[in-house]
Structure 1
C-alpha cells in the first residue's frame, strides 16, 4: 500500500529535538523516518540535525542513529551497510540526512564514491540553502542574491553573486540508480519518493528543499507555505531520475509571482526589481531546458 497522509505510521522516530521553531529540516527527517521505520539506521554529519538531535543525555532518535564526520556521511553509510550485511542482517535501510553544505560542498566526494560503487544506501539532503547551524554562512546551494554572514549586503556587493549549484543533476550525471527532488511544501510527493527509494536496491538520493525561518528571515508559521511557493513560482522543481531518464513530477503551466516569494524573505529584502528580473530570466531559461529534456 502506498503511503499517504491517511496511512502513514503514527510511530514517531524523531522527536524531542532542539530545532528552531518552524524548522524545515526537522520535518523532512521526521517524515522520512516515519516511512522507513525502526529498521532504519540514520547517519548524520555535523549540521543542524545532528546538533539538535544528539544532546547528551538525550537522543531524539527512536531508531539507531550516529553522527559521522562532516565529510564522511556517505562513506560511513557504506560501512554500516556492509557491516550489517556481513552480520546477516536483513530488511534494513541505511539512511543519511545531511544539509546542503555537508552534501554539495564538504560531503560531495564521499557521496560521489558511494554512487560509483552503487552502495545500497539512501542519501537525503535537507537543503536550507546555507550553513545555518554555524551562523548562516554561504554554501554552494545558496541562491543568487541571498544575504548570509559571508555574503553581506553593502554598497558594492549585494548578497551572493553566484547561482545555486544543481546538485540533483550532478548526482544524476553519475548514472545513479534513483534520484529525486522534493519540498516540504509538497509532503505527499516526498513521502512517495522516500517509499519508492526504500524499495530500490542501490544508491538513492533525494534532495528536499527545507526552509530555515532563522536564516531565510521568514515567520516560523510560514515555513511550509514558503516551501510550496518556491515550487509554484518555478525556482525549484519536483522531478525524478531513474533508468537514465528524467521525469518532471509537477509541470507548471503558469508560475506564481517570483517577486511575491522573494519579498517575503529577509535574506532578499535588499534586492531591486532589476535583480528579481534577473532571477526570473534564469528561471525561464531553466524551465525551457526542463520542458525540452524532461518527460
Structure 2
C-alpha cells in the first residue's frame, strides 16, 4: 500500500483552505453596501420631492382642507368631481387632446425624419429649423400664437383676408379652440419626435433596403415593410412621451385660452388649477390624483403592449 507523504498530505488541506477563501472573498464583496451609497442621494431626493408628496396627495384628496384646518370627508371630492359637467368635459378634452397630438406627432415626426435623412439639400439647416420650437418657452409660444390667432387683428386672419378668405375665430369659437391649441402643440413638439426618429433611422443597416430593392420592392413597400417595423423602439418612445405630455399639458392652454371660451378648451390640468384658485383645495387635490391615475392606467398597459410587440418581432 502506498501511503501519501507528508508533503502530499499537507498540500491537500492547504488547497482546500485556498479554494474556500477564494469562494468566500467574492461573496463578501458582493454583500458590501458600498455601491448603494451612490444610489442613496438620488433615492433621498426622489423620496422627499416625489414619493412623499404623491402619497400625501392621496390622503389630502379625501379631505376638505385649507391652510388652517383639515377635515376628513372620504370620497366626496371624487364624487363631486364626476358629477360636475365642466369637470367631466375637462376629462374628455384631455383624452381628445392627448390622442390628437400624440398621433399627429408620431406620423409627422416619422415622415419628416425620413425626409431629413434622404440626403436632401441643406438637411442640416432643416433639422435645426424643425427642432427649434422645442427650445422655445411654451408660455412664449402660447402668447405668440394667441396674438397670431386673434380673430380680427391676428396675422393669420389678416393673411387669409388678403386672399379673400374670412378667417374663423381660432380661439374664440368653442368648437375650434381646443383643436387650435392642439395644432400649436403639434408644431411645438414635432421637432422632438423627428429627432428621436432620426436617431432610430440611423441604426437601420442599408443592407435591408438593398435586399428589398433586389426583391423588387417599391419605395412605399420599403417604407412600410422595412422602415416602420425597424423604428418600432423609436415609435414607442415618441408615443409614450407625446401621450404623457398631452395628458398633463397646462401651460400652453393657459397661455392661449385659459380654458375658454367657457369651458370648451379646459383640460384636467387647467380645471385643477381653477379649482385651486377658487379655494377648493381638496377637490383640486382629488383632480390631481385622478390625473395621476389616468396617466398610469393609459401609459403602463400601452408601454407593456409596445414592449411585447418588440419582443415578438
Whether these two folds match at TM > 0.5 is no
More strand by share: 1
Structure with the bigger RCO (C-alpha within 8 Å, sep 6+) is 2
TM norm structure 1: 0.24
TM norm structure 2: 0.23
